Structure 1
Amino acid sequence: MRRSLSLVLLVMSLSGAGAASAAQQDAVPADLGQRLVTTYAAPATQRLDADARALAQALDALCKQPAAKAAESVQARFRSVVLAWSGVEFLRFGPLVEGNRYERIAFWPDPRGVMSRQVQGLLADPAVTALDAQALSARSVAQQGLPALEFLLYRDGGVLEAARQGRAEAPDCAYAQAAAGALALQTGALAQAWSAQGEYARQFSRPAADNPLYRTPREVAAEAIKALSTGLQFARDVKLVPVLAEPYQDSRARRAPYWRSGLTAPALAASVASMLRFHDAAGWALPAEEAWRVEGLRRELVQLRDVLGSLKAPVRDLLQDPEGRRQLTLATLLLKNAKDLLDQDLAPQLGVTIGFNALDGD
């Protein structure tokens, strides 16, 4: 009798596991990879590439004819590139991690100030005036990418300040032009990989038994969920928490991304808004009784986007203002809530286990 009961319980357990697995599989759209590529990754990387090329052209024009209007154009183009990059940086897998591409686009965080030391060292080298995009791409990742370009543009006496005075300093302009060109090389390769003609996009879009990267839609789902989870963690633990540490010191602001250009809050808002669009593009097909898991995460991301989008001041001013600090602190709580909802509520319903991510060991 006892043995018969055990066998019945075992059969019930296996049947339940099979049903749960089937439900998890049904929650992942069969065309998940295709919709994430065509709806999000391809257009987002194409926009980044177009903005990077426009920035390079604006810098070329400024260095030929320095003026306040040219400086305004470069500043606007730089902002566009930062916001476009903020919409791509959480896709921290595949093409973005090949050949240190992530670090070549954005060598950050940089708590030891490696970038500023290496950039200033290169500026002091007379050979910098002969530097081009290809040559710079082969150098240290700290000497290229958005942080280095921001330093060249926005530092005291930098390219923008000189242009407003009708000047174009040869070392600074030559370096900035090379940096913008090197950035465009990386964004071009990234956009191509995610394009309809790209091999990686094809593999991500069409999981199959003979696909060397993704055999099933659930494996694509795991990549997507982990990217979102890591993006939320990076925004909270790396971008915000160190900046908000007590007691407040002016140096805290300098630990924030894009503090020189005043783009800290806009970049964070753009990043969250992009993760929201990526989440929406997935179209998770949970049963009606479980749909709250998708909507709950969405509501958290919408609130987070709106909180960050309301912050218009530079990060230094926000940190010195009690209300600004309160809003930034609220953002850290919302980021944690969103990550918990994703990791603990949504991921298990999709059959995804959150394990190690790109930040482990950093």
Structure 2
Amino acid sequence: MNLSILRGPQARLAKRKLLAITALSLITACSPPPPAKVLADTSNLAILPAYKSFSLSSEKLATAANSFCSKPNTEQLELVRDHWRVAVDGWSGVQNLQFGPLLVDNQAWKIQFWPDKKNLIARKVEALLRSDEALTEKRVDDASVVVQGLSSLEYLLFDPKLGVLDSFANAATGSRRCALLIAVSGHLHSVANGLHDAWRPEAGNYVQIFTQTGEDNPEYPDDSVALANLLDTLVAGVELIKRDKFERPLGLASSEGQAQIYLLEWWRSQYSRDAIIANLKALKNLFMAANGYGLDDYLSKVKQHGEFSTQIQQHFDRSLTAAKAIPNSLFSSAEPRSQAELIQFQTEINELQLLLKSKLPEALGISLGFNAKDGD
């Protein structure tokens, strides 16, 4: 536009329009394309905070274990148990991620050994306690994953027979139980902190690998591969809840199924239902990139499936409501097929799984990959 031929108000109006167009062009040029924004916001607003939360909760658990063992008493034991529960919530926030440092070198197994079909946790932990070896973080790190992490700590803190104050205060056995409690909780924090560091920009910077896709990126040659990992995480996470954390142990996987309650996650602490709730919250948070630009926005604004995006969010909420309505621990659920709250949760989680596995890939235009739980 030739502004030199315009005078007075016309010139001023034309200049304002030109400035507005220029500013809009600059903003558009500086804004990342939608898929890149999904990856950036999901990483920075959902994944990194989840790893940080797990690291901090494991640190507080280790501190509480040390304080308790300096002078074992009932109040301090309950405090350690509370910190263990918070750490489980933190772990539940990253447990289902199907990519990144968590999959390297058995990191997930170092945090949780489950399902324990042969009661290996009790056998291996007790064998280590009976040995003459010094119970240090190094010894725990060298040992089997069975005696590491939250599963081993659950046995030490909640076993119906041995997870009691007398086991730690007993002059003959208490010192070794405390030594193992301190060593395992310290080792857990090292693993959790290492995972957080692996993602942080200031350390391992996996966040850059995940968000800066391209031909030179060996893991993510384009955005669609990274987005597929988010999709896989949502699907695998809900399937793990539905099948392994709920239907199989309660005998609801088929009409002839028999309950196997000792396959429940966290059965000793009776924290199974609470961990499912934490899982669902984390998966919904991942879908929405917390309050950022997530898959929900991409689905709505780019793929023009706003109603479907809202539907997924509503089904997450309905599954959460149904899980919270279960009146007691899953471990103490008698006759699961006749308990209305359990059947309602099964209905809701089935519908959520159907949306994520059968309809979301097509809506996003992304193929669902093979995850570690498929065919299990």
Shorter-normalised TM range: 0.7 to 0.9
Structure 1 residues 79-109: Cα deviation after superposition (integer angstroms, max 9, x where no partner) = 1001111111011321111110011101111
Query: What's the Cα RMSD here?
Result: 2.4
Partners of 2:55 and 2:189 within 8 A in 1: yes
Q: Which position in structure 2 is the counterpart of 1:10?
A: none
Within the candidate set 292, 296, 316, 2:311 is matched to 296
1:271-310 → structure 2 map (5 Å cutoff): 271-281=279-289, 282-283=294-295, 284-286=297-299, 290-310=305-325
SS in 2 for 1:80: helix
What letter matches 2:340 in structure 1? Answer: R
Q: Which position in structure 1 is the counterpart of 2:7?
A: none
Within the candidate set 175, 191, 194, 1:186 is matched to 191
TM-score of the two chains, using structure 1 as the length reference: 0.85
Q: Distance in 2 between matches of 1:191 and 1:269?
A: 22
* CA apart distance, 1:66: 0.5
Relative to structure 1, the CA distance from residue 189 to residue 151 in structure 2 (aligned partners, 3 Å threshold; closer, same or farther) is same
Q: Which position in structure 1 is the counterpart of 2:22?
A: none
What letter matches 1:266 in structure 2? Answer: D
Q: Which position in structure 1 is the counterpart of 2:344?
A: 330
Partners of 2:322 and 2:348 within 8 A in 1: no
What letter matches 2:269 in structure 1? Answer: S
Within the candidate set 73, 91, 101, 2:97 is matched to 91
Partners of 2:168 and 2:178 within 8 A in 1: no
Q: Which position in structure 1 is the counterpart of 2:175?
A: 170
* CA apart distance, 1:47: 0.6
Relative to structure 1, the CA distance from residue 259 to residue 150 in structure 2 (aligned partners, 3 Å threshold; closer, same or farther) is same
Relative to structure 1, the CA distance from residue 78 to residue 173 in structure 2 (aligned partners, 3 Å threshold; closer, same or farther) is same
Within the candidate set 35, 38, 63, 1:32 is matched to 38
Give the unaligned 5+ runs of structure 2: 1-31
Relative to structure 1, the CA distance from residue 358 to residue 177 in structure 2 (aligned partners, 3 Å threshold; closer, same or farther) is same
Q: Distance in 1 between matches of 2:200 and 2:321?
A: 31
Matched, 1:104 2:117: no
Within the candidate set 132, 156, 164, 1:152 is matched to 156
Relative to structure 1, the CA distance from residue 361 to residue 141 in structure 2 (aligned partners, 3 Å threshold; closer, same or farther) is farther
What letter matches 2:311 in structure 1? Answer: G
Percent sequence identity is 25
Matched, 1:51 2:61: no
Equivalenced residue count is: 333
SS in 2 for 1:109: coil
Q: Distance in 2 between matches of 1:143 and 1:38?
A: 33
Relative to structure 1, the CA distance from residue 48 to residue 160 in structure 2 (aligned partners, 3 Å threshold; closer, same or farther) is farther
* CA apart distance, 1:170: 1.5
Structure 1 residues 162-202: Cα deviation after superposition (integer angstroms, max 9, x where no partner) = 27978781121111111111111110111111222233111
Structure number, greater radius of gyration: 2
Relative to structure 1, the CA distance from residue 206 to residue 236 in structure 2 (aligned partners, 3 Å threshold; closer, same or farther) is same
Within the candidate set 64, 68, 72, 2:74 is matched to 68
Q: Which position in structure 2 is the counterpart of 1:195?
A: 200
Within the candidate set 362, 368, 371, 1:348 is matched to 362
Q: RCO greater where, 1 or 2, for CA within 8 Å and sep 6 or more? A: 1
Q: Distance in 1 between matches of 2:91 and 2:263?
A: 19
What letter matches 1:135 in structure 2? Answer: R
Give the unaligned 5+ runs of structure 1: 1-25
Partners of 2:325 and 2:341 within 8 A in 1: no
* CA apart distance, 1:157: 4.5
Q: Which position in structure 2 is the counterpart of 1:213?
A: 219
* CA apart distance, 1:322: 7.1
SS in 2 for 1:267: helix
Question: Which stretch has the larger CA shift, 68-77 or 251-260?
Answer: 251-260
